[in-house]
Structure 1
Amino acid sequence: MSSQGSTAERDIVRKLARGSLLSRLKGSRQPLKLAAVPRDHVQGDRQRGEALLLGKLIAGSEAIPLFEGDFGASGKGAGLLQGFSWLRDLAAAASREKGAALAEAVVGKWLLAHGTKVDEAWAPDFWGERILFWAAYAPYILSSGDGGYRSALLNTLARGARHLDSSAEKAPAGLKRVTAWCGVIAAGLLLQGGVSRVARGEAGLGRALASAQFDDGGLISRSPMEQSLLVDRLGLLRSCYFAAKQTIPDSLEAAAAAALAALHGVTMGDGALSSWQGCGPGEAQRLNALIEGCGLRARPLRHARGWGYQRMSALGTVVVIDAAPPPSQKAAAQGSASTLAFELSDGSQRLVVNCGGAGPLPTQLSEDLLQALRTTAAHSTLVLDDTNSTNILPDGSLSRGVEDVAIERSEDNDASRLTASHGGYVRAFGLVHKRSLMLGNDGKELRGADQLVAQGRKKIKEAAGYAVRFHLAPGIEATPTADGMGAILRSKGAPPWNFRCRGGMLTTEESLWIDGRGQAVPTVQLVIVGEVSSLGGEIGWLFRRTS
């Protein structure tokens, strides 16, 4: 602990070093041993590790005390503590000798709070994640010469593995169930006598992945942040196979590589994520460390029908488009009405973004704002009569709207072209939204058109207003042109871009963007506004780099 840590924190460290406090947790069996210790090749964040040495877990924009309050409290911050993924950051900032004092103190606190009872901390996904990180950072949590502490930890680890044997399949479908089964396999590979557990775990993980992933490797939650965690879980599990000198099943290798390709497909030019399904961009440094250290290699997924994100790129210009319905409510609590929205970056400079959200991070954003961030208007796409393309009910659940997206895509020597359409507005307005995009192969021009095409028996009586929104990244200065039909976009990170439009009137409005720490950053948006009749209409627009 740092000399700046509180007296109470130092007292806790000293008390937890005494075996008498933990002796009651010892099982009747002889202390177990890990058969192998896997290596985590993902580099942690040194700055976060240094904060840990001061007794604080940095999560989003919050600093969670490691030794104050109820360790078992609910909430996103508690979940980050419970999984012990923060050991990775501690190892980036502290030697084994220095880091072990803090790591063992926190593990000891956890054992005292949860080691003698099955409670919320024994959720199968928590145990799956905990086994992966406790094993990878065993040198930090098992360095103590206190036999009582070591025995308590190893026996609790064995009990957790047995708990997972019967509870992994009961975890919620998706990433949580995948994580639980990863823990079963890891325990089988690394704890003595776990051979039969490995086979059972591999079968369970196969089922979990089949229900959690689309065929193209993306999660059914369609959450880029969850996708990064999936890649992390599978990368850590691969390390367990290597440590145990066991062969990784081909099906697991294929699923892991597909997961990474899907993750690559939603990254922007700055190396961070595009913002979808209530999630923000994360942090480029941490994402890069994951991609470099996970042991996998894959090309970005460009045409994803299940995962739903289409990627277009040319000479440093990247466009990511949501070309699928929102995820089901069971798959994603923060699913958003973002169909046909896109993000655009030029090199490391983001130009067009979606407002995003805090995702799994603890946040001080109000619940009303979090719900507003899920609306169609919070994304860079067309909004008809201020109505979501997929209805979001007052309780936050998704209702009627986009059920399918028709896609046509082609590439030639001049450009990449994508046309996609959805019927989310047919029931209420009798209009299909069709968006066409063309990215030149020199990366200097993105040309788009939004069409509203009449379909079905429902007709607009007179006219309905529309707004085509382009939320600009923070730091982008938009200067309207003299004719009011365009704007010059300037930033410190890229050459100027010109924006032009036709078919409506161009305005600018305030907007905001949720950054990688879950904080709201003020920005602006370009908005093309107008009205459409029951016959439909078309709005054209163009982004062009000036050099």
Structure 2
Amino acid sequence: MSVARSRRISTLILGRVARNLMARASSGSVALVSLWPGRTDRLIIAPHDLRTADATRAAEIYAGRFVFAGKIVTCHGRSIFELEPPSDDWEAALLGFGWLRHLRAADTALTRANARALVEDWLSNPNYKRPMARRADVLARRVISLLSQAPLVLGDTDGKFYRRYLRGLAREIRQLRSAMIDIADGVPRLQVQIALCYASLCLANQARHIRTTARKLSEELQRQIVPDGGHISRNPGALIELLTDLLPLRQTFAARNIAPPPALLNAIDRMMPMLRFFRHGDGNFALFNGMSGTPSDVLATLLAYDDTHGTPMANMPHTGFQRLDAGSTVVIMDAGASPPPNVSQDAHAGCLSFELSSGTSRIVVNCGMPSTGRDNWRSFARGTPAHSTLTHHETSSCQFVEFSAMKRLLQGAPIVSGPAAVESHREAVANGMLLTTSHDGYVNRFGVIHRRVLMLSPDGTRLDGEDTVALASEGRSKGRDTDYALRFHLHPAVKANRLSDARGVMLVLPNRDVWTFEALDDRVELEDSVFLAGNDGPRRTSQIVIRQDSHHAPSVRWSFARSSSSPAATAARRSARREPELPL
């Protein structure tokens, strides 16, 4: 184990142990904390909820059927909070209380009464407070839900329930403040600050807390949102999750006639263009660093707040992504180093991977991460072979915490070693836009550097690429492990057929457009793959694979080209000039 890797692991462990000790020390005094948020005798305002509501789900909830994260639990007359949850994702969704918006969408006396009964059941029974309920991000989500859905729960109610609701809400907010001591860095920490800021704005007699919460939120935004608008975790999905809360927060400040913090306004202004940067022609986000299926309804709502409606920027140097646009073709590439270990629990080893789309059809993708049941796929999805890039000796370009005990302690498997020196350079040339990149993720173990060059033609009908395994500055490889594989995972909607000369693949898109992949100097295989980020769960698909040995062939040249002919004509034209079949 390298010294740098050992140091990162030690830092993570020491940080986690310190947070545990602080949390234990503070747990005994939580009950003695002053009754912040003060004299909560009324709610002043309820923030807007941008998440999509489905009124039809209100009937299911009234019937005692709770469907979250792909799992169904039926109450059969018992309290839903007493039942054993089928998964952590399901429990987090239940205890986040986001489902209240579905009851509000139905807007009937029956659903309002149902909402009050469920909330009162939760607030009046301390036995329901399981560990998941105290998890900081779940607690933050619940506080925001109880604030934003207060009109539903408190409508047509009496003063006694109103006061009980406020007391329960104040108790949740106090717990949220104490949860700040022991919370994972990244999005959860920012969500807690957002929730506390909402609480100070929405409840009465909180004037002295507004400035404090706004300052802490500003500090966290400045730390986590990098100058180009990306999040420090390098997960595109973090932008959707955060903007869904930040945009209503900006409105809440305005509704209270209080100037929003400049850091909040600046963060939103930087983040909005990133939404367009990561979008393919079909509206879905590129699958990098933990991104799962794109919530298209929420994304459409967020984009309605984008006043610029401009063309996405091509280069995001601080987050580490590149984008090539020509005609109707889009290429989005991960050209950045691994995120800091403390925010890398969901980060992937996908350096120099790219995704390719034409119009509304995605062609080359990464496998992505499923929206539910992540634990079953997490190890595979984070590895380099699950990405459309080069894998050296079937080894990921990043190393993750591996031991189970350490994963439990660190609440995940952060990256402890990965690409640090990632270079990217783009320039306009006569034949199109040229992007030259490299990363050093394999230097310590194998003594090699992966270089990738992409060139997109001006009309977007051709993408040429070259991948090279080059010796590092030491001048020799480490060991005899010189094999590598080049993978291009295909979207499930693409029909792929390997050409008879075994050096190309014909790709038929859903709209019947035809693209051809070619690698004239190398044998091409078409193998099984899996697309994890589908809205309907994991789906089988295919991947184009080229296997080589850097001693004999340190470089592989390849291309994707769009054909104006039908699939049959393309195959006939390609067969007429095919080269002899390679020996098996």
Output the TM-score relative to the length of structure 2.
Answer: 0.80
Between 511-520 and 110-119, the greater mean CA deviation after superposition: 110-119
Of residues 204-213 and 100-109 in structure 1, the stretch that sits farther from structure 2 once superposed is 100-109
Query: Equivalents in 2 of 1:127, 1:287: separation in Å?
Result: 24
Aligned 1:348-387 pairs, distance under 5 A: 348-358=360-370, 361-363=371-373, 367=376, 369-387=377-395
Counterpart-to-counterpart distance in 1, 2:504 and 2:279: 28
Aligned counterparts of 2:83 and 2:148: Cα–Cα separation in 1: 22
1:344-377 CA-to-partner distances (Å, cap 9, x unmatched) read: 112221111111112xx431x663x421121111
The CA distance in 1 between the partners of 2:491 and 2:356, in whole Å, is 9
SS in 2 for 1:452: strand
C-alpha spacing 1:292/1:195, structure 2 compared with 1 (3 Å): same
State which of 224, 240, 260 in structure 2 corresponds to 1:212.
224
> Are the structure 2 counterparts of residues 144 and 298 from structure 1 closer, same or farther at C-alpha, using a change threshold of 3 Å?
farther
Name the amino acid aligned to 2:432. A
Write out aligned runs for 1:392-541 (5 A): 392-395=400-403, 396-411=413-428, 415-457=432-474, 458-459=476-477, 464-493=482-511, 495-517=513-535, 519-533=537-551, 537-541=554-558
Structure 2: which amino acid aligns with 1:497?
A: W
CA contact (8 A) 2:440 2:450 kept: yes
1:224 aligns with 2:236: yes
The structural deviation recorded for 1:405 is 0.7
Is 1:545–2:558 an aligned residue pair?
no
Unaligned runs of 5+ in 2: 1-35, 404-412, 565-584
Q: Partner of 1:108: helix, strand, or coil?
A: helix
- Is the alpha carbon distance of 1:133 and 1:413 closer, same or farther for their aligned partners in structure 2, counting shifts above 3 Å? farther
- Shift, 1:518, TM fit: 7.0
299 and 197 in structure 1: CA distance in 2 versus 1, 3 angstrom threshold: farther
In 2, the alpha carbon distance for the partners of 1:479 and 1:118 equals 52
Give the match for residue 120 of structure 2.
108
2:526 partner amino acid: T
Name the CA distance, whole Å, in 2 between partners of 1:295 and 1:34: 31
Are the equivalent residues in 2 in contact too, given 1:96–1:139 (CA < 8 A)?
no
Could you say if the C-alpha distance between residues 211 and 173 of structure 1 is closer, same or farther in structure 2, counting changes exceeding 3 Å?
farther
Q: Which amino acid counterpart does residue 475 of structure 1 have in structure 2?
A: A
> What is the CA distance between 1:31 and its match in structure 2?
7.0
Q: Which amino acid aligns with 1:362?
A: T
Q: Cα distance 1:298–1:115, how it changes in 2: closer, same or farther (>3 A)? A: farther
What amino acid is the match of 2:518?
Answer: R
- Judged with a 3 Å threshold, the aligned counterparts in structure 2 of structure 1 residues 161 and 394 are, in CA distance, closer, same or farther, namely closer
Q: For 1:299-318, what aligned pairs fall within 5 Å after superposition?
A: 300-318=312-330
Q: Which amino acid aligns with 1:345?
A: S
Question: Which stretch of structure 1 is more off in the superposition, 293-302 or 60-69?
Answer: 293-302
Q: Aligned partners of 2:122, 2:306: CA distance in 1, in Å?
A: 28
1:268 aligns with 2:272: no
| Counterparts of residues 112-261 of structure 1 (less than 5 Å) | 112-114=124-126, 121-165=133-177, 167-168=179-180, 171-261=183-273
Q: 1:106, CA displacement in angstroms? A: 2.5
Gaps in structure 1 of 5+ consecutive residues: 1-26
Contact 2:393 2:481 in 1 (8 A): no
Work out the number of aligned pairs and report it: 514
Identical-pair percentage:
28
Q: SS of 1:333's equivalent?
A: coil
Q: What do you get for the CA RMSD once the two structures are aligned? A: 3.0
Number of the residue aligned with 2:42? 33
Instruction: Choose which of 58, 80, 84 in structure 1 pairs with 2:93.
Output: 80
Q: Distance in 1 between matches of 2:353 and 2:56?
A: 35
State whether residues 40 and 203 of structure 2, in contact with CA within 8 Å, keep that contact through their aligned partners in structure 1.
no
Q: Determine the C-alpha separation between the residues in 1 that align with 2:495 and 2:363.
A: 10
Residue 54 and residue 261 in structure 1: after superposition, are their counterparts in 2 closer, same or farther (change >3 A)? farther
